Amino acid sequence: MADPGRFETTPGGYGDLPRSADVVVIGGGVTGASTAFQLAKRGVGVTLLEQRELGAGATGKSGALVRAHYTNPVETALTLESLRIFAAWDEVVGAGSPRFEAVGFVQVVAPEDEPHLRANVAAHQALGVETAVVSAADLAEIEPLMRTDDLTHVAFEPKSGYADPLGTLYGFAAAATRHGASVREGTAATAIATDPRGRVVGVDTTRGRIATESVVLAGGAWANRLLAPLGVDLGLTPRRIQVVVFRWPRGVDQGRRHRVVIDATTHAWFRPEGATGTVIGVETGGRTCEPDGYGETADAAYVDAARAALAHRFPAFAHATMRGAWAGMIMMSVDSRPLIGPVPEVPGLYVIAGDSGTSFKTAPAIGVCLAELLTEGTASPVDLTPFRPSRFAEGLPWRDEHTYGGVEEHLLTISR
């Protein structure tokens, strides 16, 4: 019997490439694989293309936080739907494992942002999220490592945490192939072909053309290369982002995994990594660059900034040993929110783009929504209208009411 946690790909020339598909999904990250699975599960003939290997882009470098706290209810609703899938993985997906660790999540904000925090938590609770506003005194018991003297209240989600990004991706890919999808690694999409009316008719690849009338572009930092020849400019900007891993110091309890934290006061996030490490991403502005050939290791100055941010909230880490670091590419949108849905200029083209490094946790739900949108014309778990790619042309970029520090809640860090 085949291993249900495996997926099969077929290397080789054009003869190994399907000549047609109901839907072609471009991009072998977690959102692309989730979408391919949900389409195949519904009986759609789908081919998933990845130019290198699955997870070679942002997913493979992801922090993979799974939390429901956002400064808007729409993304919270997406995460809540995803949490249900993570919790019932064996029944819903039935292949691989996301290795979800529900260690609990803490959202730290400055005292002056407490009214916004309370408004956001109330909105989350109304959606069914298990979350609460807790005092600094209670926080000291919830997470003993945390410095709390500069805080008044924070948000706490006891059932949130983090997952294995590649384990999640591989599970979706295995489940997609089990339902009949074709997964092709080492196959780059070179163009989205259209007819004289501008409608999608196929995808050109390094191994030939696949005829199709529907394409889901989940190409991450590489998306512009396929959009630009179609005359589509969604205002997407590729950014290089970094993270660092620190070894737990000698005085830290080696037998307890600490909570996942997003700290709006230091613009950082961190979570356990492995048995004795902590991975952290910190806001430094990012750097615009081309997605090919970027430096995959972190800069020395970034390591210092990450250690300082971590030590501010976890003082025991002031002299923690750096054990590793890496960099990856994300795609920023104009308003730091994802673009999900059809591209009006090109009938048959759908995108999940510009997620600004935060769509790992919502990928399971995004796959459901896109599959329903393509097969039924609407998405039932979450209304995708706020994510519509046309919002910039309409002059209606996304704006959250209850942000922290007067800025958008998203940080330029990989897949929080």
For residue 323 the two structure tokens come to 């054990």
377 neighbors 233 (Cβ within 8 angstroms): no
Q: How confident is the model at residue 283 (pLDDT cuts 50, 70, 90)?
A: confident
Domains with residue ranges and CATH for the chain: 14-62+166-235+335-391 (3.50.50.60), 100-162+237-332 (3.30.9.10)
Burial of 301 per CB tally in 10 Å (0-12, 13-18, 19+): exposed
Q: What are φ and ψ of residue 353, in 5° steps?
A: -145, 165
pLDDT at 292 over 60: yes
Give the whole-number percent of the chain exceeding pLDDT 70: 93
Residue 301 one-letter amino acid: A
Structure confidence at residue 166 (pLDDT): 97
Position 28 confidence tier, pLDDT thresholds 50, 70, 90: very high
Cross-strand bridge partners of residue 204: 191, 209
pLDDT at 221: 95
- What is the predicted pLDDT for the residue at 413? 46
Residue 14 has pLDDT above 50, yes or no: no
- Rounded to an integer, the average pLDDT of 52-60 is 95
Contact indicator for 105, 163 with CB cutoff of 8 Å: no
Report the distance separating Cα 310 and Cα 113, nearest Å: 21
In this predicted model, which residue has the larger pLDDT, 119 or 8?
Answer: 119
pLDDT above 60 (res 264): yes
pLDDT score recorded for residue 90: 97
Is the pLDDT assigned to residue 187 strictly greater than 80?
yes
Whether 11 has a pLDDT exceeding 50, the answer reads: no
Q: Give the contacts of 37 (CB within 8 A, at least 6 positions apart).
A: 93, 172, 173, 175, 176, 179, 181, 367
- Is residue 293 very low, low, confident or very high in pLDDT (cuts 50, 70, 90)? confident
Q: Which stretches does DSSP call E strand in 333-378?
A: 339-342, 349-353
pLDDT exceeds 90 at position 408:
no
pLDDT of residue 255: 92
Nearest to 286 by CA among 246, 324, 332: 332
User: pLDDT digits over 299-335, tens only?
Assistant: 999 999 999 999 999 999 999 999 999 999 999 999 9
Q: What is the pTM of this model?
A: 0.94
> What angle in degrees, to the nearest 10, is found between the helix axes of 114-127 and 73-87?
50
Name every residue whose Cβ is closer than 8 Å to that of residue 213 and which is 6 or more positions away in sequence. Answer: 199, 200, 201, 348
Q: List Cβ neighbours of 153 (8 Å cut-off, separation of 6 or more).
A: 111, 114, 117, 118, 133, 134, 135, 136
Q: CA 384: distance to chain centroid? A: 16
Q: Is the Cα torsion angle 158, 160, 161, 164 positive or negative in sign?
A: positive
Residue 411, pLDDT > 50, answer: no
Helices (H), 66-199: 73-87, 89-92, 114-127, 136-142, 165-178
Paired with 25 in beta bridges are: 48, 216
Cβ(23)–Cβ(45) below 8 Å: yes
- Find the largest Cα–Cα distance for the chain: 68
**Which amino acid is residue 244, in one-letter code?**
V
- Helix (H, G, I), strand (E, B), or coil: what is residue 376? helix
| Mean pLDDT score of the chain | 93
For the chain, the C-alpha Rg in angstroms (whole number) is 21
Mean pLDDT for 112-128 is 98
**Band (357; pLDDT cuts 50, 70, 90):** confident
